[in-house]
A and B are shown apart, each in its own frame.
Chain A
Amino acid sequence: MKESLAFDSVRKAYGGFFALDDVSIDIKAGEFMTLLGPSGSGKTTMLMSIAGFVEPTSGSIRLDGKEITHLPPEKRNFGVVFQGYALFPHLTVRENVFYPLRVRGVPKAEADAKIRSMLEIVQLDHLAERYPKQLSGGQQQRVALARAMVFSPELLLLDEPLSALDRALRKDLQRELKDLHERLGTTFIYVTHDQEEALSMSDRIAILRDGRIEQLGRPEELYEKPASIFAANFLGKSNFLPARQVGCDDRFVTYAVGDHRFRLDRDGVRSLDGDISIVLRPERLTLHSSEEAAPDNRMAGRIKGVSYFGQLYEAIVETEVAGDLLVSAGLDGPAPRAGETVWVGWKTNVGVALPGRPEGADEAYD
């Protein structure tokens, strides 16, 4: 795939504060790229600098190799779906969608055809004469999309477009957005702080933190192989075992948590000195009633509490060695019960070793 949009060492300073700090990224044409991060991480600043509303202090932004860093927004031909939609309240749905064609001087007949087909795509053809305030949140969202897409922009930028909607509607619209992306083949750049949304929709995700890209990759990569404790914490739930590396042979790296030892496959982990954390996802941990049934990596514990989520159970297991561990259990096995004594096990290919220890409580649980 050819390159579509490139950031080259982009910085944006507000006084002494860097909203974007040396950001470089290549976004491919047709890609669904998500910028994910907590508030203040720079994701919206990044999107607004693509749109042209924020001018970088240094560095350059290119579209297909062409420099656009200082191009005003109206010259960029990018569609933007704003948080809160920013529909023009004094114009009807049709007039809102007509607006980008109007300022481009598109002939009436051609514009009418484009508006009609766009409104059909977002299923709003029957509401074309309504005003925005007469529409529901989901309908307004679709108008914003239609308006941003009707002039066939080279990129579609979406700033937390679903954050104002309730959960069920959000799910529906996530699917619709994904469909739309596949149908139109336009590059989507999507800003969100919702990790679930990011995982389910994106081709690639960039996790931002303090104006820097913390990690960039496909959703599976980010989830399975987080590059930092922040990334592991931000995307999904994690158990962190405070460990030290105590040995290494051809196949395995051996770790110790206190006096307790376990092994991970050598080709899956980095070799690290000092304080490290082993990241174990709850769904990679298994519960066993006896020591013999558990895999080699195992730990004795007692179930403190169980939550039922419909598709799975989550158990908190208190262990002497590593404190509380969160374990997901499917519905096939016996239901975990509070008070039971169990063995928590995990295979040698599921852990990730990261330098450092998590700070305080898990701040980024969403």
Chain B
Amino acid sequence: MQSELRRPTVSFSRVVGWMSVCFLIVPVLVVVPVSFTPKRYLSWPGSEWSLRHYEVLVGEGGWLSSIGDSLIVATAAAVLALAMGTLFAVGHWRLNNGVTRNLRLFLLLPMIVPPIVHAVAFYQAWAVLKLLDTYPGLILVHSMKALPFVVLSVSASLINLDPRLEQASRSLGATSRETLWLIILPQVRPGIIAGAIFAFVTSWDEIIVAIFITSREVYTLPKRIWDGIFDNIDPAIAALGTVMILLTAIGLVVKDRYEKARNIKIGAS
């Protein structure tokens, strides 16, 4: 259907559109050739190509264990933020009184407070609580930082939810808990998925707090990249970047295919 609508004209808006796309994507793609350089530092590959920096990623340099650490922390933080944030958003949607409105402002604070303030504050607090350089220590901070994203995205989904669905469910004999699981959560699934992705990425990307409150026991990927750049501008970082870009692209293609398949299924039935 799309190809029928497409007209082969060169318009001003088209040119601007493509220029914007290039502006966004080209700088990112620069890491791809750089990752194939045979040299020991960040450089253009020239005529010779090499996979040595990809070998380093899977080798003994600690990259794999950092990926593992980041996965553990980001997954746990996302799950925690998702559980708390979703429940809060639903509660706020149901009650919407002065208390929940103020609580909501409070929950959104981590987006406003500068990360360095968090970092310093948690450094002090975790030192007292003996949580420095531990998984729970970092997971707690990251889930707190991810919480606003979950609350915002789930709340956005709830805005379009007909409050009568909840009443209908109760009138049909379902308890509040059954209503939450069987009706409300399935309805806000897009918001929950978006919130989960945001939460995961928030933790996956986070470096400032990680630098302050972790050292050797917990060594996340952003921190290792940071250290890598700091020490010797290691092209392994470019290789890692290329892998990330590839994974993201694959993810988008899979999502696209899945949605198309689903639309066809619904349209055909």
Contacts and interface: CB of A to CB of B under 8 A. Distances in A.
A73 B171 contact: yes
Contact of B172 (A53, A84, A129, A147): A147
B178 interface: yes
Which DSSP category, helix, strand, loop or mixed, fits chain A's interface? loop
B103 interface: no
Nearest to A102: B182
Interface stretch (B18-26, B83-91, B151-159, B161-169): B161-169
Contacts of B170: 52-53, 72-74
Interface string A112-137: 00000000000000000111001000
Interface in A312-352: none
Interface in A79-104: 79-80, 82-84, 86-90, 99-100, 102-104
A78 B174 contact: no
B187 to A, nearest CB: 6
A190 to B, nearest CB: 16
Nearest to A82: B164
A151 interface: yes
Contacts of B182: 99, 102-103
Contacts of A78: 171
B97 to A, nearest CB: 15
Interface residues on A, range: 20 to 34
Contacts, number: 69
B175 interface: yes
Given A88-B165, A103-B172, A151-B172, A129 B269 contact: yes
A52 to B, nearest CB: 8
B174 A74 contact: yes
Interface residues on B, range: 10 to 19
A241 interface: no
A90 B262 CA distance: 14
A82 B170 CA distance: 12
Nearest to B266: A131
A297 interface: no
B183 interface: yes
Which DSSP category, helix, strand, loop or mixed, fits chain B's interface? helix
A83 to B, nearest CB: 8
Given A89-B187, A99-B182, A130-B269, A151 B167 contact: no
A23 B80 CA distance: 49
Contact of B173 (A53, A83, A86, A151): A151
B167 A53 contact: yes
Contacts of B171: 51-53, 73-74, 76, 78-80, 148
Contacts of A100: 172-174
Contacts of B62: none
Contacts of B167: 51, 53, 73, 80, 82, 86
A86 B172 CA distance: 12
A76 B164 CA distance: 17
Contacts of B172: 74, 79-80, 99-100, 103, 147-148, 151
A58 interface: no
Interface string A174-199: 00000000000000000000000000
A154 to B, nearest CB: 12
Interface of A: 51-53, 72-74, 76-80, 82-84, 86-90, 99-100, 102-104, 129-131, 134, 147-148, 151
Per CB-CB distance, the 7 closest pairs between chain A and chain B, nearest first, are A86-B168, A100-B172, A86-B164, A80-B171, A103-B174, A73-B170, A90-B186
Given A77-B173, A80-B168, 18 more contacts: A51-B167, A51-B171, A52-B171, A73-B171, A74-B172, A80-B167, A82-B167, A86-B164, A86-B165, A88-B168, A88-B183, A99-B172, A99-B182, A100-B174, A103-B173, A147-B172, A148-B171, A151-B172
